[in-house]
Amino acid sequence: MGTFIVLVVLAAIVALVIRGMVRDKKNGKSIQCGGDCRHCGGHCH
């Protein structure tokens, strides 16, 4: 029973992380840059 609970909690955390990544991508942010060109030397867009 404990293993099942840990599995459910872990699956929920992974789902929240993926949802956040999808939301950021829809808002124009990316994993590599984040939309702040001060940090990547202006290579965005």
Q: State if pTM tops 0.75.
A: no
Q: Where are the domains of the chain?
A: 2-40
pLDDT tens digits, one per residue of 2-41: 999 999 999 999 999 999 988 877 776 666 665 566 666 5
- CA distances, 17 to each of 21, 29, 30, 39 (Å): 6, 15, 14, 23
Listed residue (42, 14, 22) closest to 31, CA to CA:
22
